[in-house]
Amino acid sequence: MSLLPDIKVWAKITLTHDPAKDYHDRVKNLTPGVERPPSKIEQAKLFYMVERAQWIKQKRQVEAGELHNVKECDQRKLRQIHEVKGRLMELPRSMATSLVGQDAETIERLLRDQVMAILNEFAGGDDKAVKTDDE
C-alpha cells in the first residue's frame, strides 16, 4: 500500500495558496490593537499634514506679531551699539569745557551723570534714540 496518493492529497490541501489570505491579512491590519506600519502614502499624507499645521501656526504667529525678522533685529542691535559707542566717545569733547577748573569729585560726578543718562536712554530699548535708515 502506497502512501503517495495520501501525501499528494495532503500537499494539495495544505500547500496551496489560500485565496482568502490577503483578505484575512487586511482585516487583521484593520483590527484595533493590532499595529501595522503605515504605508508610504499614509506616511506622505501624515508628513504633509504636520508640515501644513506648522506652516499655519507660523503664519498665525507672524500675523499676530509674535515673530520678527532676525536680520532686521540684528541690524537694529548693531546700530544701537554703534550709537551708544559714538555717544560715549564724544563725551570728552562735549564736556571738556564744562569740566575745566572743576575739582576731581565734581568731574567724576558730572561724567557719571552723563554716562548714566546715555545708558538709561538706550537701556529702555527706545528706538527713537537710534537713527533708522528711513530717517
Per-residue confidence (pLDDT) for residue 132, from 0 to 100? 44
Rounded CA separation 113/107 (Å): 10
Residue 92's pLDDT is: 87
Model's pTM, two decimal places?
0.44
Give the separation between CA 118 and CA 95, rounded to whole angstroms: 14
Identify whether the C-beta of residue 73 lies closer than 8 Å to the C-beta of residue 127. no
pLDDT (0 to 100) of residue 79: 93
Q: Taking a C-beta distance cutoff of 8 angstroms, is the pair 79, 131 a contact?
A: yes
Mean residue pLDDT across the chain: 81
Q: What is the CA radius of gyration of the chain?
A: 40
Q: What local confidence, expressed as pLDDT, does residue 135 receive? A: 42
> Which pLDDT band, with edges at 50, 70 and 90, does 15 fall under?
confident
d(CA 74, CA 125): 14
Mean pLDDT of 52-59: 93
Q: How many helices (H) and strands (E) does the chain have?
A: 6, 0
Per-residue confidence band for 55, with pLDDT thresholds at 50, 70 and 90? very high
Q: Is 129 exposed, middle or buried (0-12, 13-18, 19+ CB in 10 A)?
A: middle
